[in-house]
Structure 1
Amino acid sequence: MAVVVRAGAAPLWWAGVFAAGVGVLPPGLTGRRIGVLAGAALFLVTAAVVAVRGQGRFAALARGAARAGRGDVLQDRAVTVRVWRRGHRWWLLLALAAALGSSFAVPAAGGMLLAGWGAGLRLKAARIGRLERAGDALLWVRVDWLDRLGGRPAGKAVKGYRTTGVAAGDAAPGGARRRTDVYA
Protein backbone atom coordinates (compact mmCIF):
# COMPACT_ATOMS: atom_id res chain seq x y z
CA MET A 1 0.00 0.00 0.00
CA ALA A 2 2.86 2.34 0.75
CA VAL A 3 4.20 1.46 -2.69
CA VAL A 4 1.23 3.22 -4.30
CA VAL A 5 1.84 6.32 -2.18
CA ARG A 6 5.54 6.26 -2.95
CA ALA A 7 5.09 5.60 -6.71
CA GLY A 8 4.34 9.24 -7.43
CA ALA A 9 6.99 10.71 -5.15
CA ALA A 10 10.03 10.33 -7.42
CA PRO A 11 8.42 11.58 -10.66
CA LEU A 12 6.91 14.59 -8.89
CA TRP A 13 10.15 15.38 -7.08
CA TRP A 14 12.33 15.22 -10.20
CA ALA A 15 9.80 17.06 -12.37
CA GLY A 16 9.67 19.74 -9.69
CA VAL A 17 13.44 20.04 -9.42
CA PHE A 18 13.73 20.29 -13.20
CA ALA A 19 10.92 22.86 -13.47
CA ALA A 20 12.36 24.93 -10.62
CA GLY A 21 15.81 24.88 -12.19
CA VAL A 22 14.50 25.95 -15.58
CA GLY A 23 12.00 28.30 -13.95
CA VAL A 24 14.76 30.41 -12.43
CA LEU A 25 15.99 31.43 -15.89
CA PRO A 26 13.19 33.85 -16.92
CA PRO A 27 12.88 36.87 -14.61
CA GLY A 28 9.07 36.54 -14.50
CA LEU A 29 6.56 39.18 -13.49
CA THR A 30 7.46 39.11 -9.80
CA GLY A 31 11.22 38.77 -10.11
CA ARG A 32 13.47 35.87 -9.26
CA ARG A 33 13.89 36.63 -5.56
CA ILE A 34 10.17 36.78 -4.82
CA GLY A 35 9.56 33.73 -7.02
CA VAL A 36 12.14 31.63 -5.19
CA LEU A 37 10.93 32.76 -1.76
CA ALA A 38 7.31 32.06 -2.72
CA GLY A 39 8.43 28.70 -4.10
CA ALA A 40 10.21 27.83 -0.86
CA ALA A 41 7.07 28.66 1.12
CA LEU A 42 4.97 26.59 -1.30
CA PHE A 43 7.42 23.69 -0.99
CA LEU A 44 7.17 23.62 2.80
CA VAL A 45 3.40 24.06 2.97
CA THR A 46 2.71 21.51 0.23
CA ALA A 47 5.05 18.92 1.73
CA ALA A 48 3.42 19.32 5.15
CA VAL A 49 -0.15 19.18 3.83
CA VAL A 50 0.47 16.16 1.59
CA ALA A 51 2.34 14.33 4.36
CA VAL A 52 -0.47 14.60 6.92
CA ARG A 53 -3.53 14.52 4.64
CA GLY A 54 -5.47 11.27 5.00
CA GLN A 55 -3.42 9.86 7.88
CA GLY A 56 -6.53 9.21 9.97
CA ARG A 57 -8.08 7.12 7.20
CA PHE A 58 -4.80 5.23 6.69
CA ALA A 59 -4.57 4.46 10.41
CA ALA A 60 -8.23 3.40 10.64
CA LEU A 61 -7.88 1.07 7.66
CA ALA A 62 -4.63 -0.32 9.07
CA ARG A 63 -6.27 -1.09 12.44
CA GLY A 64 -8.99 -3.07 10.69
CA ALA A 65 -6.64 -4.87 8.29
CA ALA A 66 -7.31 -8.56 7.70
CA ARG A 67 -4.83 -11.26 6.83
CA ALA A 68 -4.53 -11.72 3.05
CA GLY A 69 -6.35 -14.80 1.86
CA ARG A 70 -5.95 -17.05 -1.15
CA GLY A 71 -8.53 -15.12 -3.14
CA ASP A 72 -6.78 -11.76 -2.70
CA VAL A 73 -4.75 -10.63 -5.68
CA LEU A 74 -1.67 -8.69 -4.56
CA GLN A 75 0.89 -7.14 -6.92
CA ASP A 76 4.64 -6.93 -6.67
CA ARG A 77 6.21 -3.56 -6.01
CA ALA A 78 7.66 -3.19 -9.50
CA VAL A 79 4.32 -3.94 -11.17
CA THR A 80 2.46 -1.51 -8.92
CA VAL A 81 4.93 1.31 -9.58
CA ARG A 82 4.89 0.68 -13.34
CA VAL A 83 1.08 0.58 -13.51
CA TRP A 84 0.71 3.73 -11.40
CA ARG A 85 3.24 5.71 -13.42
CA ARG A 86 1.79 4.61 -16.76
CA GLY A 87 -1.69 5.52 -15.61
CA HIS A 88 -0.63 8.96 -14.43
CA ARG A 89 2.02 9.88 -17.01
CA TRP A 90 -0.19 12.46 -18.76
CA TRP A 91 -1.06 14.11 -15.47
CA LEU A 92 2.63 14.25 -14.58
CA LEU A 93 3.48 15.81 -17.95
CA LEU A 94 0.63 18.29 -17.58
CA ALA A 95 1.87 19.24 -14.09
CA LEU A 96 5.40 19.70 -15.45
CA ALA A 97 4.11 21.89 -18.28
CA ALA A 98 2.06 23.97 -15.84
CA ALA A 99 5.05 24.40 -13.54
CA LEU A 100 7.25 25.47 -16.44
CA GLY A 101 4.57 27.84 -17.74
CA SER A 102 4.04 29.42 -14.33
CA SER A 103 7.71 30.36 -14.17
CA PHE A 104 7.00 33.25 -16.53
CA ALA A 105 4.83 34.77 -13.81
CA VAL A 106 6.49 33.55 -10.59
CA PRO A 107 9.92 32.00 -11.28
CA ALA A 108 10.61 28.55 -9.79
CA ALA A 109 7.43 28.54 -7.64
CA GLY A 110 5.53 25.94 -9.67
CA GLY A 111 8.52 23.61 -9.75
CA MET A 112 9.05 23.92 -6.03
CA LEU A 113 5.36 23.17 -5.48
CA LEU A 114 5.74 19.93 -7.46
CA ALA A 115 8.89 19.04 -5.56
CA GLY A 116 7.08 19.67 -2.28
CA TRP A 117 4.27 17.38 -3.38
CA GLY A 118 6.80 14.62 -4.11
CA ALA A 119 8.56 15.19 -0.79
CA GLY A 120 5.22 15.05 1.04
CA LEU A 121 4.38 11.72 -0.60
CA ARG A 122 7.76 10.38 0.44
CA LEU A 123 7.16 11.50 4.04
CA LYS A 124 3.70 9.89 3.99
CA ALA A 125 5.19 6.61 2.76
CA ALA A 126 7.79 6.77 5.54
CA ARG A 127 5.02 7.25 8.11
CA ILE A 128 3.15 4.26 6.68
CA GLY A 129 6.41 2.30 6.88
CA ARG A 130 6.67 3.07 10.59
CA LEU A 131 3.07 1.88 10.98
CA GLU A 132 3.95 -1.34 9.15
CA ARG A 133 7.06 -1.93 11.27
CA ALA A 134 5.07 -1.34 14.46
CA GLY A 135 2.49 -3.92 13.39
CA ASP A 136 5.16 -6.25 11.97
CA ALA A 137 3.11 -6.66 8.77
CA LEU A 138 3.04 -5.18 5.29
CA LEU A 139 -0.21 -3.46 4.33
CA TRP A 140 -1.68 -4.20 0.91
CA VAL A 141 -4.62 -2.97 -1.13
CA ARG A 142 -6.38 -5.53 -3.28
CA VAL A 143 -5.65 -4.91 -6.96
CA ASP A 144 -9.32 -4.87 -7.97
CA TRP A 145 -10.05 -2.13 -5.42
CA LEU A 146 -7.01 -0.14 -6.47
CA ASP A 147 -7.99 -0.25 -10.16
CA ARG A 148 -11.38 1.29 -9.38
CA LEU A 149 -9.70 4.14 -7.53
CA GLY A 150 -7.23 5.18 -10.18
CA GLY A 151 -4.39 4.46 -7.76
CA ARG A 152 -5.73 5.96 -4.51
CA PRO A 153 -4.87 3.59 -1.64
CA ALA A 154 -7.23 5.19 0.88
CA GLY A 155 -10.16 6.08 -1.37
CA LYS A 156 -13.81 5.29 -0.77
CA ALA A 157 -13.68 2.02 -2.73
CA VAL A 158 -11.11 0.59 -0.31
CA LYS A 159 -13.04 -1.27 2.35
CA GLY A 160 -9.97 -2.48 4.20
CA TYR A 161 -6.34 -3.43 3.89
CA ARG A 162 -4.81 -6.86 3.74
CA THR A 163 -1.69 -7.83 5.65
CA THR A 164 1.16 -10.21 5.01
CA GLY A 165 4.40 -10.80 6.82
CA VAL A 166 7.22 -8.32 6.30
CA ALA A 167 9.16 -10.89 4.25
CA ALA A 168 6.39 -11.20 1.64
CA GLY A 169 6.80 -9.66 -1.79
CA ASP A 170 9.58 -7.46 -3.06
CA ALA A 171 8.80 -4.36 -0.97
CA ALA A 172 10.13 -3.36 2.41
CA PRO A 173 8.01 -1.50 4.97
CA GLY A 174 7.31 1.98 3.62
CA GLY A 175 7.23 0.87 -0.01
CA ALA A 176 10.97 0.88 -0.62
CA ARG A 177 12.64 -1.79 -2.70
CA ARG A 178 13.65 -4.74 -0.57
CA ARG A 179 17.41 -4.80 -0.16
CA THR A 180 19.17 -8.11 -0.44
CA ASP A 181 22.60 -8.56 1.04
CA VAL A 182 24.85 -9.52 -1.88
CA TYR A 183 27.75 -10.62 0.30
CA ALA A 184 25.82 -12.79 2.77
Structure 2
Amino acid sequence: MTRGGQGLARVAVVVRAGAAPLWWLGVISAGVGVLVPGITGRRIGVMAGAALFLITAAVVALVRHKRYVALVGGAARAGKHDVLQDRAVTVRNWRRGHRWWLLLALVGALGSAFAVPAAGGMLLAGAGTGLRLKAARIGRLERAAESLVWVRVDWLGRGAGVPAGKRVKGYRATGIAAGDAAPGGARRRGGVLV
Protein backbone atom coordinates (compact mmCIF):
# COMPACT_ATOMS: atom_id res chain seq x y z
CA MET A 1 0.00 0.00 0.00
CA THR A 2 1.37 3.38 -0.91
CA ARG A 3 1.85 6.29 1.55
CA GLY A 4 0.59 4.44 4.59
CA GLY A 5 -2.61 3.17 3.02
CA GLN A 6 -4.13 -0.11 4.19
CA GLY A 7 -5.86 -2.96 2.39
CA LEU A 8 -9.48 -3.02 3.54
CA ALA A 9 -12.09 -5.81 3.25
CA ARG A 10 -15.80 -5.28 3.71
CA VAL A 11 -16.95 -6.54 7.11
CA ALA A 12 -20.31 -7.81 5.83
CA VAL A 13 -18.63 -9.66 2.96
CA VAL A 14 -16.24 -11.45 5.33
CA VAL A 15 -19.17 -12.47 7.56
CA ARG A 16 -21.27 -13.58 4.60
CA ALA A 17 -18.45 -15.51 2.86
CA GLY A 18 -19.06 -18.67 4.86
CA ALA A 19 -22.86 -18.64 4.57
CA ALA A 20 -23.22 -20.32 1.17
CA PRO A 21 -20.64 -23.11 1.68
CA LEU A 22 -22.02 -23.99 5.11
CA TRP A 23 -25.61 -23.93 3.83
CA TRP A 24 -24.92 -26.16 0.83
CA LEU A 25 -22.67 -28.57 2.72
CA GLY A 26 -25.40 -28.79 5.35
CA VAL A 27 -28.13 -29.46 2.78
CA ILE A 28 -26.04 -32.13 1.04
CA SER A 29 -25.04 -33.89 4.27
CA ALA A 30 -28.60 -33.70 5.66
CA GLY A 31 -29.94 -35.19 2.41
CA VAL A 32 -27.41 -38.01 2.53
CA GLY A 33 -27.98 -38.42 6.27
CA VAL A 34 -31.70 -39.04 5.81
CA LEU A 35 -30.82 -42.13 3.75
CA VAL A 36 -29.07 -43.68 6.77
CA PRO A 37 -31.43 -45.12 9.42
CA GLY A 38 -29.01 -44.28 12.25
CA ILE A 39 -29.22 -45.27 15.90
CA THR A 40 -32.06 -42.91 16.80
CA GLY A 41 -34.08 -43.37 13.61
CA ARG A 42 -34.90 -40.86 10.88
CA ARG A 43 -37.85 -39.19 12.59
CA ILE A 44 -35.94 -38.32 15.76
CA GLY A 45 -32.89 -37.34 13.69
CA VAL A 46 -34.88 -34.89 11.57
CA MET A 47 -36.66 -33.43 14.61
CA ALA A 48 -33.35 -33.02 16.46
CA GLY A 49 -31.85 -31.53 13.30
CA ALA A 50 -34.66 -28.98 13.01
CA ALA A 51 -34.08 -27.89 16.62
CA LEU A 52 -30.33 -27.69 16.02
CA PHE A 53 -30.92 -25.65 12.85
CA LEU A 54 -33.00 -23.03 14.70
CA ILE A 55 -30.72 -22.84 17.75
CA THR A 56 -27.53 -22.65 15.68
CA ALA A 57 -28.94 -19.98 13.36
CA ALA A 58 -29.97 -17.84 16.34
CA VAL A 59 -26.67 -18.26 18.20
CA VAL A 60 -24.50 -17.55 15.13
CA ALA A 61 -26.61 -14.51 14.21
CA LEU A 62 -26.40 -13.01 17.70
CA VAL A 63 -22.84 -13.84 18.81
CA ARG A 64 -20.63 -10.71 19.17
CA HIS A 65 -23.54 -8.46 18.19
CA LYS A 66 -22.59 -5.75 20.71
CA ARG A 67 -18.99 -5.75 19.49
CA TYR A 68 -20.12 -5.30 15.88
CA VAL A 69 -22.42 -2.42 16.89
CA ALA A 70 -19.61 -0.73 18.83
CA LEU A 71 -17.10 -1.15 16.00
CA VAL A 72 -19.55 0.14 13.37
CA GLY A 73 -20.46 3.11 15.59
CA GLY A 74 -16.81 4.02 16.12
CA ALA A 75 -15.65 3.53 12.52
CA ALA A 76 -13.06 6.08 11.38
CA ARG A 77 -13.12 7.55 7.90
CA ALA A 78 -11.03 5.57 5.38
CA GLY A 79 -8.02 7.40 4.00
CA LYS A 80 -7.60 8.28 0.36
CA HIS A 81 -4.65 5.86 0.07
CA ASP A 82 -6.54 2.90 1.53
CA VAL A 83 -7.18 0.12 -1.00
CA LEU A 84 -10.67 -1.41 -1.04
CA GLN A 85 -10.64 -5.15 -1.68
CA ASP A 86 -13.10 -6.53 -4.23
CA ARG A 87 -15.94 -8.67 -2.96
CA ALA A 88 -14.81 -11.69 -5.00
CA VAL A 89 -11.27 -11.49 -3.55
CA THR A 90 -12.58 -11.32 0.02
CA VAL A 91 -14.89 -14.31 -0.52
CA ARG A 92 -12.13 -16.32 -2.21
CA ASN A 93 -9.66 -15.57 0.60
CA TRP A 94 -12.14 -16.63 3.28
CA ARG A 95 -13.07 -19.87 1.51
CA ARG A 96 -9.47 -20.71 0.72
CA GLY A 97 -8.44 -20.09 4.34
CA HIS A 98 -11.28 -22.22 5.71
CA ARG A 99 -11.42 -25.05 3.15
CA TRP A 100 -10.01 -27.67 5.55
CA TRP A 101 -12.47 -26.65 8.28
CA LEU A 102 -15.32 -26.89 5.78
CA LEU A 103 -14.14 -30.35 4.72
CA LEU A 104 -13.90 -31.50 8.35
CA ALA A 105 -17.38 -30.10 9.02
CA LEU A 106 -18.77 -32.05 6.05
CA VAL A 107 -17.09 -35.28 7.16
CA GLY A 108 -18.35 -34.76 10.73
CA ALA A 109 -21.90 -34.08 9.55
CA LEU A 110 -21.90 -37.16 7.33
CA GLY A 111 -20.41 -39.29 10.12
CA SER A 112 -22.98 -38.09 12.64
CA ALA A 113 -25.76 -39.42 10.39
CA PHE A 114 -24.95 -42.94 11.58
CA ALA A 115 -26.02 -41.86 15.07
CA VAL A 116 -28.60 -39.11 14.45
CA PRO A 117 -29.67 -38.94 10.78
CA ALA A 118 -29.64 -35.47 9.15
CA ALA A 119 -28.93 -33.61 12.41
CA GLY A 120 -25.29 -32.72 11.64
CA GLY A 121 -26.19 -31.43 8.20
CA MET A 122 -29.01 -29.31 9.56
CA LEU A 123 -26.62 -27.87 12.15
CA LEU A 124 -24.25 -26.81 9.33
CA ALA A 125 -27.15 -25.29 7.38
CA GLY A 126 -28.18 -23.40 10.52
CA ALA A 127 -24.68 -21.95 10.83
CA GLY A 128 -24.84 -20.78 7.22
CA THR A 129 -28.25 -19.21 7.81
CA GLY A 130 -26.96 -17.49 10.96
CA LEU A 131 -24.07 -15.95 9.04
CA ARG A 132 -26.46 -14.65 6.39
CA LEU A 133 -28.66 -13.12 9.12
CA LYS A 134 -25.62 -11.54 10.80
CA ALA A 135 -24.51 -10.00 7.48
CA ALA A 136 -28.03 -8.64 6.93
CA ARG A 137 -27.95 -7.08 10.39
CA ILE A 138 -24.59 -5.43 9.60
CA GLY A 139 -26.19 -4.18 6.37
CA ARG A 140 -28.97 -2.53 8.40
CA LEU A 141 -26.34 -0.84 10.59
CA GLU A 142 -24.57 0.38 7.44
CA ARG A 143 -27.77 1.80 5.98
CA ALA A 144 -28.59 3.55 9.26
CA ALA A 145 -25.10 5.11 9.37
CA GLU A 146 -25.18 5.76 5.60
CA SER A 147 -21.68 4.33 5.29
CA LEU A 148 -20.04 0.99 4.52
CA VAL A 149 -17.68 -0.50 7.10
CA TRP A 150 -14.34 -2.07 6.30
CA VAL A 151 -11.71 -3.92 8.32
CA ARG A 152 -7.97 -3.97 7.75
CA VAL A 153 -6.95 -7.14 5.91
CA ASP A 154 -3.85 -7.62 8.06
CA TRP A 155 -6.04 -7.73 11.19
CA LEU A 156 -8.03 -10.60 9.74
CA GLY A 157 -4.92 -12.76 9.43
CA ARG A 158 -4.47 -15.67 7.05
CA GLY A 159 -7.71 -17.05 5.72
CA ALA A 160 -9.71 -13.88 6.47
CA GLY A 161 -10.65 -14.58 10.07
CA VAL A 162 -13.32 -13.04 12.27
CA PRO A 163 -13.90 -9.32 11.52
CA ALA A 164 -14.77 -8.65 15.19
CA GLY A 165 -11.95 -10.69 16.73
CA LYS A 166 -9.41 -9.56 19.33
CA ARG A 167 -6.93 -8.37 16.70
CA VAL A 168 -9.45 -5.91 15.23
CA LYS A 169 -8.98 -2.48 16.81
CA GLY A 170 -11.55 -0.61 14.73
CA TYR A 171 -13.32 -0.28 11.41
CA ARG A 172 -12.94 2.20 8.59
CA ALA A 173 -15.94 3.79 6.90
CA THR A 174 -16.58 4.89 3.32
CA GLY A 175 -19.54 6.30 1.48
CA ILE A 176 -22.47 4.00 0.74
CA ALA A 177 -21.52 3.78 -2.96
CA ALA A 178 -17.91 2.57 -2.45
CA GLY A 179 -16.80 -0.89 -3.54
CA ASP A 180 -18.63 -3.59 -5.44
CA ALA A 181 -20.84 -4.96 -2.65
CA ALA A 182 -24.13 -3.57 -1.39
CA PRO A 183 -24.89 -3.03 2.33
CA GLY A 184 -25.00 -6.49 3.91
CA GLY A 185 -22.32 -7.87 1.59
CA ALA A 186 -24.44 -9.01 -1.35
CA ARG A 187 -23.37 -8.37 -4.93
CA ARG A 188 -24.20 -4.84 -5.96
CA ARG A 189 -26.93 -4.78 -8.59
CA GLY A 190 -26.70 -2.42 -11.53
CA GLY A 191 -22.93 -2.23 -11.83
CA VAL A 192 -20.07 -1.07 -9.66
CA LEU A 193 -20.23 2.37 -8.10
CA VAL A 194 -16.99 3.82 -6.77
TM-score (norm 1): 0.95
Look up the SS of the partner of 1:171 in the other structure. Answer: coil
2:109 corresponding residue in structure 1? 99
1:171 corresponding residue in structure 2? 181
1:36 corresponding residue in structure 2? 46
1:131 corresponding residue in structure 2? 141
51, 76, 80: which is aligned to 1:66? Answer: 76
Closer, same or farther in 2 for the Cα pair 1:10/1:79, shift >3 Å?
Answer: same
- Alpha-carbon separation, structure 2, partners of 1:148 and 1:7: 15
What is the percent sequence identity of the aligned residues?
79
RMSD (CA atoms):
1.2
Letter of the 1:174 counterpart: G
1:144 aligns with 2:116: no
Structure 2 unaligned blocks of 5 or more: 1-10
Letter of the 1:96 counterpart: L
Structure 1 unaligned blocks of 5 or more: none
TM-score (norm 2): 0.90
Residues 74 and 142, structure 1, Cα contact 8 Å, conserved in 2 = no
Residues 62 and 139, structure 1, Cα contact 8 Å, conserved in 2 = yes
Cα deviation for residue 136 of structure 1 reads 0.6
Cα deviation for residue 114 of structure 1 reads 0.1
Letter of the 2:162 counterpart: R
Look up the SS of the partner of 1:141 in the other structure. Answer: strand
1:45 corresponding residue in structure 2? 55
State how many pairs are aligned: 181
Letter of the 1:80 counterpart: T
Cα deviation for residue 148 of structure 1 reads 5.9
